[in-house]
Amino acid sequence: MNTVAYYNGALTDSKDVLISPYDLGLVRGYAVFDVMRTFNNKPFLREDHYKRLRNSAKEMGLNVPVSSAEYAAIVDNLLRLNGFREARIRTVLTGGPSPDAYSPTGKETFFILLEKIVPLPEHIYSAGAKMITVEYYRECPRIKSTNYVAAMQHHREKVRRGAIEILYTHRGMVLEGSVSNLFMASKGRLVTPKDDILTGITRNFLIRLSKKCRIPVAERPISLKELLKADEIFMTSSTKGIIPIVSVDGTRIGRGKVGPVTSTLMDEFRKYAATY
């Protein structure tokens, strides 16, 4: 589907967002990105997303070519021009084309694409979903880079086992999902990892929301052993929200259905989003 996009300083038809085969994002994996969504056609936590993109870029030696205010204006413009009810906003920044396919020239590639949000089937939220684990430690966990090779390599296995997400584990500890963060609840208290992961925007929001709901939250390491004994597990994602997890590697979690802490937070999040 063609949409209006932003590409290197100008609005354009998305079909004209075409990338050079010498782009360092393609030939050297030199790229960072962000995905956010709208609620009521307003970008959700846009400033947080912009800041994270800028931080990731900085760590990589890349430069986001627009200010926060410019980014806000471009995104608002794209939302108006595309007129979706709700949109997913994908922002990509790469090292740009390089004549020798290796040396950065400082002429970076920057584009923003809008997509219609296609919600996941409702039963995933009402009945919960499955996760599988894969042993993997991301190279630069604090950078939202485009390196998803581990997730791609295990995609087929994930589908075959009917799972919605791959959970990365490292030396017995659970880290994060391939495109999500992880929370567990035990005895009414939430726990979520903090170190060696990308602390997602929705994860951070959930921590604030939980505190408002007087649900205690601890940010600390979680072993896989502890996780499998949790009362409840859920994952968070900027585009998918809160997804209850009822099985990890085939082990049933708690009673195998959406638990009370998860339900409460899903309700509160829905209410918050409805009036955003």
Does the footprint of its own copies cover residue 169 (CB under 8 A)? no
Q: Among 150, 23, 17, 157, which Cα is nearest to 90's?
A: 17
45-64 binders of its own copies (CB under 8 A) = 60-61
- Tell me the C-alpha distance between 139 and 235, whole Å: 22
Could you tell me the smallest distance in angstroms from the CB atom of residue 13 to its own copies?
Answer: 12
From the list 10, 18, 69, 274, which residue makes contact with its own copies (rule: CB under 8 A)? 18
Residue whose CB is less far from its own copies, 155 or 211: 155
From the list 3, 4, 6, 24, which residue makes contact with its own copies (rule: CB under 8 A)? 24
Q: Kindly give, in sequence order, each residue whose CB lies less than 8 Å from that of residue 193, ignoring residues fewer than 6 positions away.
A: 173, 174, 175, 176, 181, 182, 219, 220, 221, 222
Does the footprint of its own copies cover residue 107 (CB under 8 A)? no
CA-to-CA dists, residue 50 to 32, 58, 176, angstroms: 12, 12, 21
From the list 113, 132, 167, 182, which residue makes contact with its own copies (rule: CB under 8 A)? 113
Q: Among 170, 197, 163, which Cα is nearest to 182's?
A: 197
Could you tell me the smallest distance in angstroms from the CB atom of residue 151 to its own copies?
Answer: 7
From the list 65, 104, 141, 221, which residue makes contact with its own copies (rule: CB under 8 A)? 104
Could you tell me the smallest distance in angstroms from the CB atom of residue 133 to its own copies?
Answer: 18
CB atoms within 10 A of CB 118: 8
Count the site residues for its own copies by CB under 8 A.
42
Q: Kindly give, in sequence order, each residue whose CB lies less than 8 Å from that of residue 75, ignoring residues fewer than 6 positions away.
A: 43, 46, 89, 112
Does the footprint of its own copies cover residue 27 (CB under 8 A)? yes
Using the rule CB under 8 A, give the single segment among 142-150, 201-209, 227-235, 267-275 that binds its own copies.
142-150
Using the rule CB under 8 A, give the single segment among 145-153, 182-190, 229-237, 247-255 that binds its own copies.
145-153
Collapsed DSSP state (helix, strand, coil) of residue 36:
strand
- Tell me the C-alpha distance between 261 and 186, whole Å: 9
> Contact residues for its own copies (CB under 8 A)?
14, 17-21, 23-31, 33, 60-61, 90, 92, 94-95, 101-104, 111, 113, 139-140, 145-153, 155-156, 179
